[in-house]
Structure 1
């Protein structure tokens, strides 16, 4: 099956927000009951500085996966939480002062395992223009989690583990990696190159 990796402005993602939330609702830990909260968060994030979104579209221009992030700035809810988890000032400066926050990276379960998540992550971060990239993800058995295997493969390392996040009963980890990419590779998946195409 042929897929297309696209980059979207906040306005473009906003026009397809309901479809993006459909993808998010299929992700573990989310579900239909969290649709309203997920939509409010997405709308809030669209206004963040440096917002960049990517999506994988199927043959009918349907959203197979999407991801987005923004520049990490003081005052943001996630940034404040992450900073609070890093009591050493040098750690906070090292990882958060010039960082890009990966907020969402989701692929429909039936389409996982084919390199789509990697393509989106590379597409999002290839020109982030920051010194680091940071994200949080739910704690789980790494060997059984595609998300964890992806982050490890892409060079993300542990910054903090076993953290609580307000309003979520799960335990979370904060991961980070240096930018830019140093391996010189482009976005690849099981179908070859994934050129970023604007729509």
Structure 2
């Protein structure tokens, strides 16, 4: 996609994402460098997440209406595996309630590598957060050298702060950071200071 202006950001229902799940998973597999086994596991997980309460998806469509990016989130509630694992790693009960009770869990935010670095990931995240209707948003991302990670720079730019660092999940050798932010921002936005939520210029 040579021109980000030819991209279109749309909000999708669970049913709409389900009908094009293979396209979305192709994007995720390319972005993450997943092989067939990891790809299929991610597909199963995404289909399970479609039934989560408050599920919402944002999608970037290319000039041929092809899926070149997608993200989704849902309401964070007790009984969900991820929520309960993170809650167990936050020793202060007040912190668990403040950040996790009825939060928007940002579960996926993926773009084809050829489309990265053009503001599309930020557009998806802002679109998701602007319609979340929750007090907070939380997410998990692998630990890395922050200065070298476009994803980390995006989260910091969007006002996410550390809630827990070095968290380990069963069966995964990597360490993860848990980030959170209030919704809306103190300036009433979901983006940078002074930014009232306008997305980068895009058209159908």
- 1:170, distance to aligned residue in structure 2 (A): 1.1
Tell me which of 138, 153, 157 is aligned to 1:153. Answer: 157
Tell me which of 180, 188, 191 is aligned to 2:199. Answer: 188
Q: Is 1:169 the counterpart of 2:173 in the alignment?
A: yes
- TM-score, normalising length: structure 2: 0.90
Q: Is 1:48 the counterpart of 2:52 in the alignment?
A: yes
Q: Give the secondary structure class of the aligned counterpart of 2:173.
A: strand
Q: Within 1, Cα distance between the matches of 2:177 and 2:33?
A: 15
Question: Are 1:139 and 1:162, in contact at CA under 8 Å, matched by a contact in 2?
Answer: yes
Counterpart for residue 102 of structure 2: 98
More strand, by proportion: 1
Which 10-residue stretch deviates more, 118-127 or 165-174? Answer: 165-174
Query: What is the CA deviation profile of residues 15-57 of structure 1, one whole-angstrom value per residue up to 9, with x for unaligned ones?
Result: 0000110011012364433011101100110000000001000
- TM-score, normalising length: structure 1: 0.92
Query: What is the CA deviation profile of residues 46-95 of structure 1, one whole-angstrom value per residue up to 9, with x for unaligned ones?
Result: 00000000100000011110000000000001101110110110110110
Counterpart for residue 73 of structure 1: 77
Tell me which of 81, 89, 102 is aligned to 1:85. Answer: 89
Which 10-residue stretch deviates more, 31-40 or 13-22? Answer: 31-40
Residue ranges of structure 1 left out of the alignment (5+ in a row)? none
Q: Within 2, Cα distance between the matches of 1:187 and 1:41?
A: 31
Q: Which runs of 4+ in 1 moved over 4 A?
A: none
Which 10-residue stretch deviates more, 95-104 or 164-173? Answer: 164-173
Counterpart for residue 138 of structure 1: 142
Question: Are 1:133 and 1:177, in contact at CA under 8 Å, matched by a contact in 2?
Answer: yes
Pick closer, same or farther for the CA change 1:96–1:38 going to 2, 3 Å: same
Residue ranges of structure 2 left out of the alignment (5+ in a row)? 190-194
Aligned residues between the structures: 193
Q: Give the secondary structure class of the aligned counterpart of 2:174.
A: strand
